[in-house]
Amino acid sequence: MLAKPITYFGRDVVLICDKNCGQAWGLNSRPIVEVDGRTLYIADGEQQAPNNPGTEEGGNVKPSGCDDRYKLNKWCARECERSALAEPGEEFMLPDWSQRRIKT
């Protein structure tokens, strides 16, 4: 897990991620499937996420490589489905992508 204090739209928050960039698609790029009338995001392991899913936020793209210095950028805060924002000291829960999730 990685955590980084940031200012997000004028608020001091902590950006947290599970460090699994290899499975990060971005909310606007993660594949979906229709099952029993429900729209679901695919689970990890169903497909490998591309190195560049074709989305960017504020000029930042999905981080590449394993060097933690380059992770937790604007793309991670606004597009990555694997990250979470929390108030400093607040408890948080990262999304679980081991199973399909309902698209909201």
Tell me the whole-structure pTM to 2 decimals. 0.88
Segment 3-34, tens digit of pLDDT: 999 999 999 999 999 999 999 999 999 999 99
Tens of pLDDT, residue by residue over 56-77, are: 999 999 998 666 777 899 999 9
On the 0-12 / 13-18 / 19+ scale of CB atoms within 10 A, 1 is exposed
